Amino acid sequence: MTRVGIFGVAHIHADGYLANLESADHVKIVGVSETDDVLRREWAERHTEPIFATHEALIGAGVDAAIVCTTTNEHLAVVEQLAAAGVHVLCEKPLATTVEDSQAIVDVCAASDVLLMTAFPMRFNPSLAAGHVWIDEGRIGEILAFSGTNQGRIPTHYAEWFADPIAAGGGAVMDHVVHLVDILRWWTDSEPVEVYALTNRILHPDVAVETGGMVTVGFGNGVFATIDCSWSRPDGYPTWGGLTIEAVGAGGVFTIDAFAERLDVWSHGDAMWTDWGSDANEAMVDHFIGAVRGEHPLAVTGVDGLRATEVALAAYRSVAAGQPVEV
Amino acid sequence: MTLRVGIVGAGNMATVHADGWGAAGDSIIAVLDADAERAAEFAAATGGRVADDLDDLLRSVDVVDICTPTDTHLNYVLAGAAAGVAVACEKPLARTGDGARSAVAACREAGVPLLVGHVVRFFPEYVEARARVAAGDIGDVAVVRLDRSTYLPAGASAWFKDPARSGGVVHDLMIHDVDYAAWIAGTVTRAYARLAGSIDGGDHVLATLKHEGGAISHVQASWAFPVGSFRTSIEIAGSEGLITRHAADPFRSLVAVSPDVPDVPAPPTSGESPYVTQIRHFSDVLQGKATSRIAPEDAAAAVDVCDAIATSIESGQAVQIGENL
């Protein structure tokens, strides 16, 4: 039995991870910790698992592995406690709100010899895995460029802190740049070297962070990519958003809609897209548990989270400079 | 009233324009082309005559329609203005923004109309999307995505494949969406872009634009797509809603892919060719029945933005637009 706890429920994914853990083999869900009274009470109304008022208490109950779902700015403090207790960590993305904190998360886990995985479920999306194979096999020849979108509804519908400059470290850029950066690093086996970004606050002008963003990333191998990270899906959109990527090569083109496995559902009310395909979050959680058991190395590490976060933070520097900046 | 039209340049676009003038009930009176044989064939097909020279053509027409290689547009526009003849001109208005602005100034001073062929402003899906924006259906425009991805036609002329003469994929293809972006999201104030070239010369460009008022545009133009493909898409996100029109949707965008297709296929259309709609509109403008949908200044601004995109590609820096104009 692998004993697992969920640390913090501020992130919307905590509910989904709990379901993923419930369906995993040989996993004991020790409980959940949440220091915020309101969030803890709301969680307890939805779930029956034990909920602790401090992270120490959950660690004290005996856990081998943790999924960290606090607000982004609290990741470091929680991971420090977990690493000190020898607990392996799957941390929500982005890793932290600053490069320093992200680096510290990586360092403390390395020093304590615990696993650190960043929650990049798209690594476990079958279409994107196929794209990786296509590129490796040279099916579209030498890669010229990518254009990617990771657009969504404003996530304040789930939790206000996603648009809090302190808790989230920013808005659409912090929320949606890192997934595509991680996919592109994975696909190209090259590191981002230059970032140019434009942002605005025309969508949902009532929030204190950027809601529109367009980021161009240059990689060390000369390939470039654009990432549209905008919260540009209106409330009436049939789903939360989506992720697409188009690869243009000297010998062809392919486009992936990572969430194409869906049904369009119409009713007298709002239209809805429902998923019927594989669950990337479930595959990611299973992979993490397997790595904790020593069955395989981690496919996605804390360093991957650090590199992606560096690009998101470079985007803000570029916006301030009005020019491309080095990563 | 039947306009007397003189066409300069008897290539592919001239044939497309001639269909439009014919549909408008106007007459091709004269044609001029460096290739005498091609000029004769065009004259025979359209009912006009081959002009002796440019002066001869300009003396006999109400409007000169310029369908020549991009880098020659400016001289013909200036000649038309000097002769007091109305000018229609295929896009881009000129090879450079400086040239385009001098063309606008010359026509204004001469008091002749200048009508530039930004045909996307006549494609029904683009017209409808702009109408929805103008009606306020999606609130303030925030993030725009425009795409025009195809391949370099096998039969492309030497001038077309020479970026020094045509401006390449930016000035020839991306300019359509650069103009449209400005039409719906406002004047472009800054451009940043990167270009990748494939082995067979099919360039691929991704540009991001900043508009006055704060909107952002992402514009993709490509000649690096597989032979036979032609794809366009529109996405306009606003403070109150979202408009999308993607390539895989019926009815216009998807064209059968075949390795043997010699030229960029004309997209299927449910109604009149937008090229014909455009020329009929030009005819109406010249007869005082309509106000031009394309201000000459807009056509010049589109070339300025393309210049900035090209400069950004060269320098690796973002380029401010309009600072030194």
Domains by residue range for chain B, with CATH: 4-118+278-293 (3.40.50.720), 121-268+302-320 (3.30.360.10)
Nearest CB partner across the interface for A232, out of B142, B199, B318: B142
Q: Is A260 on the interface with B (CB under 8 A)?
A: no
Residues A309, A175 share a domain: yes
Contact B226 A234 (CB under 8 A): no
**Gap between the Cα atoms of B316 and A325, Å rounded:** 11
Would you say residue B271 has pLDDT above 90? no
Residues A67, A211 share a domain: no
Residues A115, A62 share a domain: yes
Q: Which residue is closest to B197 within chain A, CA to CA?
A: A144
Question: Span B241-262, mean pLDDT?
Answer: 57
Note the pLDDT of residue B204: 96
- Judging contacts by C-beta atoms under 8 Å, the chain B residues touching residue A145 are 194, 196, 204, 206
Contact B216 A145 (CB under 8 A): no
Q: Is A325 on the interface with B (CB under 8 A)?
A: no
Give the pLDDT band (50/70/90) at residue B269: low
Query: Which residues, in sequence order, are bridge partners of residue A323?
Result: none
Note the pLDDT of residue B66: 98
- Judging contacts by C-beta atoms under 8 Å, the chain B residues touching residue A315 are none
Q: Looking at A80, A98, A120, which one is the last position of a domain?
A: A120
Residues A175, A107 share a domain: no
Q: Which residue is closest to A227 within chain B, CA to CA?
A: B218
Residues A92, A44 share a domain: yes
User: Could you tell me whether strands B141-149 and B231-238 are parallel, antiparallel, or unpaired per DSSP bridges?
Assistant: antiparallel
As given in the structure block, the two tokens for residue A66 are: 């943790």
Region of A62 on the Ramachandran plot (φ > 0 left; ψ -120 to 50 alpha; else beta):
left
Residues A234-273: tens digit of each pLDDT? 999 999 999 999 999 988 899 999 998 888 888 888 888 8
Would you say residue B266 has pLDDT above 60? no
Q: Which residue is closest to B199 within chain A, CA to CA?
A: A250
Range of the domain at A250: 122-278+300-326
Q: Quick check: is A291 in a domain?
A: no
Q: Is A273 on the interface with B (CB under 8 A)?
A: no
Q: Is A219 on the interface with B (CB under 8 A)?
A: no
Residues A178, A308 share a domain: yes
Residues A120-163: tens digit of each pLDDT? 999 999 999 999 999 999 999 999 999 999 999 999 999 999 99
Q: Is A212 on the interface with B (CB under 8 A)?
A: yes
Q: Is A224 on the interface with B (CB under 8 A)?
A: yes
Contact B208 A323 (CB under 8 A): no
Q: Which residue is closest to A254 within chain B, CA to CA?
A: B225
Q: Quick check: is A292 in a domain?
A: no
In three state form, how does the secondary structure of chain A look? CEEEEEECCCCCHHHHHHHHHHHCCCEEEEEEECCCHHHHHHHHHHCCCCEECCHHHHHHCCCCEEEECCCHHHHHHHHHHHHHCCCEEEECCCCCCCHHHHHHHHHHHHHHCCCEEECCHHHHCHHHHHHHHHHHCCCCCCEEEEEEEEEECCHHHCCHHHHCCCCCCCCHHHHHHHHHHHHHHHHHCCCEEEEEEEEECCCCCCCCCCCEEEEEEEECCCCEEEEECCCCCCCCCCCCEEEEEEEEECCEEEEEECCCCEEEECCCCCCEEEECCCCHHHHHHHHHHHHHCCCCCCCCCHHHHHHHHHHHHHHHHHHHHCCCEEC
Tokens 């995985």 locate to A117
Q: Quick check: is A285 in a domain?
A: no
Tokens 């960043």 locate to A118
Q: Which residue is closest to A232 within chain B, CA to CA?
A: B237
- Residue-wise DSSP of B89-117: EESSSSSSHHHHHHHHHHHHHHT--EEEE
pTM of the model: 0.93
- The residue among B67, B72, B55, B78 whose CA lies nearest residue B8 is B67
- Total domains in chain A come to 2
As given in the structure block, the two tokens for residue A31 are: 């409980």
